[in-house]
Structure 1
């Protein structure tokens, strides 16, 4: 199993569509006994939360977020945890909105102190 995500900060490697998570968004992950959760903010997102489970290198979670325009949205994501050669962690994600149309893929990677 890949290492724990507890306490790690991750960020998208590319911007998604306008009004969504982007490279300025930071996710702070927590993990305990197969449970996974995170808080996130940045870019168009004022505040977001995700909660779910981890089995091996697979995360399965729901997310909700509040954007600067006052709208909220929610969805489902399945991610695969990948250990990078430089020791950082990457999540390869497949997501879909449940509160609006849309789905896609994204990649988030652990940020280092100089990246944040």
Structure 2
């Protein structure tokens, strides 16, 4: 199993659709006893939270966020936790909005200690 996500900061490797999570968004993860949660912000997202579970290398969580334009949105995501050769962690995500139409895939990776 990949190492714990607790205390890790991750960022998307590519921008999503306009007004969504993007490369300037930072996710701070926490993990304890099969529970995972994170706070995130940056880019068009003023504040976001996710909460869910981890079983092995699979995450299953729901997310809610507040955007700069004052709108809120929520959805569901399933992620695979992957250890990268350089020791960082990657999450390969499949997500779907629940508060609006649409979904897709994305990749977030641990931000390197020096920059990233």
- TM surpasses 0.5: yes
Q: How many residues align?
A: 116
Deviations 1:11-49 (A, max 9, x none): 000000000000000000000000000000000000000
RMSD: 0.7
**1:109 alignment partner in structure 2:** 109
Runs of 4+ aligned structure 1 residues displaced above 2 Å come to 113-116
**2:18 alignment partner in structure 1:** 18
TM-score w.r.t. structure 1 length?
0.98
**2:54 alignment partner in structure 1:** 54
TM-score w.r.t. structure 2 length?
0.98
Unaligned runs of 5+ in 2: none
TM superposition shift of 1:113: 2.9
